[in-house]
Amino acid sequence: MAKLTLPVGDRDHAQGPAKAAVTLVEYGDYECPHCGAAYPVIKRLQKTLAQSFRFVFRNFPLNSIHPHAEHAAQAAEVAAAQGKFWEMHDWIFEHQDTLEDADLLEGAKALGLDSKRFVKEMQSEEALPRVKEDFRSGMRSGVNGTPTFFINGIRHDGAPSYEDLLAALNEAVAQA
Assess if residue 6 is contained within a domain.
no
Q: Would the pTM of this model clear 0.95, i.e. be above it?
A: yes
Assess if residue 140 is contained within a domain.
yes
Q: How many domains does the chain have?
A: 1
What's residue 152's pLDDT?
A: 97
Give the domain CATH number at 63: 3.40.30.10
Assess if residue 138 is contained within a domain.
yes
Low-confidence ranges of the chain (pLDDT < 70): none
Assess if residue 7 is contained within a domain.
no
pLDDT digits (tens, 9 = 90+) for 71-117: 999 999 999 999 999 999 999 999 999 999 999 999 999 999 999 99
Supply the range of the domain harboring residue 18.
Answer: 13-175
Assess if residue 108 is contained within a domain.
yes
Assess if residue 160 is contained within a domain.
yes
Assess if residue 8 is contained within a domain.
no
Number of H helices, E strands in the chain: 7, 5
Assess if residue 5 is contained within a domain.
no
